[in-house]
A and B are shown apart, each in its own frame.
Chain A
Amino acid sequence: MAATEIARQAGEGARAVPLAGHVGFDSMPDQLVNKSVNHGFCFNILCVGETGLGKSTLMDTLFNTKFEGEPTQHNQPGVQLKSNTYELQESNVRLKLTVVNTVGFGDQINKEDSYKSIVEFIDTQFEAYLQEELKIKRTLHSYHDTRIHACLYFIAPTGHSLKSLDLVTMKKLDSKVNIIPIIAKSDAISKSELTKFKIKITSELVSNGVQIYQFPTDDETVAEINSTMNGHLPFAVVGSTEEVKIGNKMVKARQYPWGTVQVENENHCDFVKLREMLIRVNMEDLREQTHTRHYELYRRCKLEEMGFKDTDPDCKPFSLQETYEAKRNEFMGDLQKKEEEMRQMFVQRVKEKEAELKEAEKELHEKFDRLKKLHQDEKKKLEDKKKSLDDELNGFKQKKTAAELLQSQAQQAGGSTTLKRDKERKNFF
């Protein structure tokens, strides 16, 4: 098969070509939008703040619905995160909204570990997305994205400055999520105190190096409004789900004996600004920042932690597969080494045992030999004795026969005299 020639022209710098008529691809944004509408959107908000700062009420006010749930008690042993998902629909847009509340934040006596469960939760969501992305058979386009897009940090309206718990928590969260600080229950602070409070907060954040979310100013259509809003951070909000009749309209407000705080009145609080920025202008940007900045950072750290690199020391690009292979080979190699070691040890032990047993056997044999020898010695001794006794017996027998022979001879010669003598002797006795 002949070799093929692949030529690529005008690579990076594509030439700009003028059109001689209406082609029709200006409908592309519409096509894209239609596809997204069919698919639906999802948005996840995390509310961090002490118990009783009005987080749930603010969510209700923002989205104009009553999300269920009763106020939590103040005696939680640790910080837990409660997540609820709702499906909202407005005109033809379907939104899957997930609201995550921190339960028990700031209630403990020792608050050192308060931020840990929040950071863990955020990391878990990133991890779930990363796992899905790394799967071989994946369904990214229908995956329910649970990554936190915006974190509303509720600051208690003390009027002085940020609490150290706030600073520590925000510092830990600023590289993981878009933080939008808001002053909760701001109807407790007067206007002059509010400006001082805001300045103090922003200067403390800056001096501690906390990076809060800045509304983007690179798109001309929204640059202006975003930059003005950036100056109003943190937003001082009031939340209310009760409606009060003002003039001839029913408005959301909080009624006091000395007056009524209208939620949607820009002179009273910054609620409208928050809603504008969070939902109407920058929702898409928040989602994009989460994906391209925070998630990518998490992913990079995680993969590097697992030992994957992009380039090896020779500056040649590694492919993930090669790294997988290398790692797997390493792992197998380790396993094999371990196996070898174990086998060696086993062989060693067996040898030792064998030697021991051999020793024991040898001993036994020796003992046996010794005993046998003893036995033989004894036997020999006895035989010798027997022999000597036999010899004696033989000697005696010989003597006896010799004596009898002499006697019989002597009897024949003077037999009677001996007999007489014997008889005399006998009669004598």
Chain B
Amino acid sequence: MPPLLCRISLIRCSLRSVQLEFTSHGAGDFSYVGIDAILEQMRRKAMKQGFELNIMIVGQSGLGKSTLMNTLFKSKVSRKSVVSTPEERIPKTIEIKSISHDIEEKGVRMKLTVIDTPGFGDHINNENCWQPIMKFINDQYEQYLQEEINIDRKKRIPDSRVHCCMYFIPPTGHCLRPLDVEFMSRLSKVVNIVPVIAKADTLTLEERDFFKQTIREGLRANGIDVYPQKEFDEDADDRMINDKIREMIPFAVVGSNQEYQVNGKRLLGRKTKWGTIEVENIAHCEFAHLRDLLIRTHMQNIKDITSSIHYEVYRVRRLNETNGQPNAQPPNTLVNPQQANGVAAQHQVLTHEM
């Protein structure tokens, strides 16, 4: 691509960092310029455009994934609610099913896409069960990249990239299984992984803490970076907040579709002979923390990390490989693990399989 040279007749371009504080402001006050009205303008624009969120749920069958999705979004968003299967069958191969919903709350519209992976980890031989999932994620990146490098491109490129992948760990109480380690170490390089302990009502509080600790150690030992990743903390405040979250992952959650009467209030919960587990009670399970993290506080951050880090890494790799150059870049913490993991090789394997 020949270099494009342009002559500019610019005689001075200087950056002045003039800090001018406006202490008082009001509509009629003449010293008020009104720059902060841009926040309102942005908010209006965002409300008009709406938001998109794509969540992928991965885990063995029977761990309560669909129920948890329905609980999280307080509506029937899971695959099972949409397509009524006459009998539960485990598909012979891993399928990827994605369903989109338009939900609205207080004027904020969101297009939520739930990507389900029935068949994961359910077979006798689970070798390479992560491959179709990796391929799906990379395909979404590829689709976005193609749209982006089009000459005539749309005003708003539809974002189908997977923002967050929730991995369900069965509540064994012991430690991470090889399948868990294998899957998470591969996928944490391409997508934000949020591990959760499913059906946590089978663990007592001590067992739960012990289990969490072993999981955290297992993650550390294998170099698995789950969300929120330590290296993407922006400043000290961020790090403080995220450290607190990191001490709590994986969240031990319980999902439920049914409401019961507890203390005069109708709450979501599971009723058993020895008591009722309240889903939103933080003394019972950590569902509320998960929901707050995912939806109320860190949703934008998750999307940002996907678009500015994971997608960029994919883009760099993709653009380099078509140039025929080996990926010889200066050591970059984001790029190096990619190579060591053999993700590039994976990608090529998958494309050949098509």
Contact = CB atoms under 8 A, between A and B. Distances in A.
A25 B101 CA distance: 14
Contacts of B72: 23
17 contacts: A1-B131, A15-B102, A16-B102, A18-B75, A25-B108, A25-B299, A26-B108, A27-B295, A28-B110, A64-B32, A86-B16, A138-B312, A140-B308, A275-B34, A283-B35, A310-B151, A327-B1
Contact of A31 (B13, B79, B92, B299): B299
Interface of A: 1-11, 14-38, 41, 62-65, 68, 78-93, 95, 103, 117, 120-121, 123-124, 127, 131, 136-138, 140-141, 219, 221-222, 251-252, 264, 275-276, 279-285, 288, 292, 296, 299-300, 302-304, 306, 308-310, 317, 319-321, 324-325, 327
B185 to A, nearest CB: 20
B202 interface: no
Interface in B5-60: 6-22, 25, 30-39, 41-48, 51, 53
Nearest to A275: B34
Given A85-B15, A321-B322, 11 more contacts: A38-B234, A62-B33, A87-B16, A87-B18, A117-B9, A127-B6, A141-B308, A279-B37, A284-B42, A285-B45, A308-B151
B97 A7 contact: yes
Given A5-B93, A137-B316, A264-B30, A33 B43 contact: yes
A384 to B, nearest CB: 85
Contacts of A65: 18, 20
B80 interface: no
Contacts of B7: 120
B96 interface: yes
Range of interface residues on B (Cβ < 8 Å):
35 or more
A10 B299 contact: no
A4 B18 contact: no
Interface string B144-170: 001001111101000000000000000
B263 to A, nearest CB: 18
Contacts of B38: 41, 93, 95, 279, 283-284
Nearest 8 interchain pairs by C-beta: A14-B100, A284-B41, A31-B300, A280-B34, A321-B322, A4-B132, A24-B296, A26-B106
Interface of B: 1, 4, 6-22, 25, 30-39, 41-48, 51, 53, 72-77, 79, 82-83, 91-108, 110-111, 113, 128, 131-132, 135-136, 146, 149-153, 155, 234, 291-292, 295-297, 299-301, 304, 308, 312, 315-316, 319-320, 322-323, 329, 353
A140 B148 CA distance: 13
Nearest to A12: B100
Nearest to B156: A292
B74 A19 contact: yes
A41 B38 CA distance: 9
B68 to A, nearest CB: 13
A25 B319 CA distance: 35
A78 B7 CA distance: 14
Contacts of A95: 35, 38
Nearest to A138: B312
